[in-house]
A and B are shown apart, each in its own frame.
Chain A
Amino acid sequence: GAVVSQHPSRVICKSGTSVKIECRSLDFQATTMFWYRQFPKQSLMLMATSNEGSKATYEQGVEKDKFLINHASLTLSTLTVTSAHPEDSSFYICSAPGRRNTEAFFGQGTRLTVV
């Protein structure tokens, strides 16, 4: 089945630094990637939709200048958390929709801790 690979799985960074998370579709082309965030004991909430070759669309309340999304190729989408703060500590996970009638595929997730 289709595989989505996400790296890194875990990162600890200092407050004020930037962190880049990569999401790759390994055996299929993903024109769209979804980025979700999950706070402790909460469900996954959609942050933004990454579209290959065009600007990402962000959900209400998500700062586009803080969470930079780049989808420069059909197999790679990146999320950069800029000037990270402790409140950005969360579990970030990407997803690519399957072809018609197939399941959505998820990366392994990235646990971000900002200290």
Chain B
Amino acid sequence: KQEVTQIPAALSVPEGENLVLNCSFTDSAIYNLQWFRQDPGKGLTSLLLIQSSQREQTSGRLNASLDKSSGRSTLYIAASQPGDSATYLCAVRSSGNTPLVFGKGTRLSVIA
């Protein structure tokens, strides 16, 4: 059974810092991996999707990497801003029509 772990559980950084969020998964036979942002009491905002054949994806200040063989992904946030404060969720899909398996998330606070 696939399990997804995110470290750290919470992170507080000063504005402007670059930071890395970590995600690991137990079964490396994944179809794709998706990073989401969730604001308190809100739904999910998709940030980046990485297919199993890809190594990384970039969107603005965000860069996600994938090392499928070792079961790891990282989300790099450059020049963090207070507006980046949210919970970041990592989720993997095992095959094309299966549900995502989520980690517990990293709660990020960026202090002005």
Binding site for B on A (CB under 8 A): 6, 32, 34, 36, 42-46, 49, 91, 93, 95, 97, 100-104, 106-109, 111
Which of chain A's residues has its CB closest to B99's CB?
A34
Binding site for A on B (CB under 8 A): 32, 34, 41-44, 46, 49, 51, 89, 91, 93, 96-105
A100-B96, A103-B34, A104-B34 known; A93 vs B104 contact (CB < 8 Å)? no
Q: Tell me, rounded to whole Å, the shortest Cβ–Cβ distance linking B24 to chain A.
A: 14
In the bound assembly, the distance between CA atoms of A104 and B46 in angstroms comes to 9
Q: Which residues of B contact A91 (CB under 8 A)?
A: 41
**Of the residues A44, A108, A111, contact of B102 by C-beta under 8 Å:** A44
Chain B interface mostly: strand
Closest 5 CB pairs of A and B: A109-B43, A43-B104, A34-B99, A103-B49, A43-B102
Q: Which residues of A contact B93 (CB under 8 A)?
A: 97, 104
A-B contact pairs, 8 of them (CB 8 A): A43-B102, A44-B100, A91-B41, A97-B98, A100-B96, A103-B34, A103-B49, A104-B34
In the bound assembly, the distance between CA atoms of A32 and B41 in angstroms comes to 26
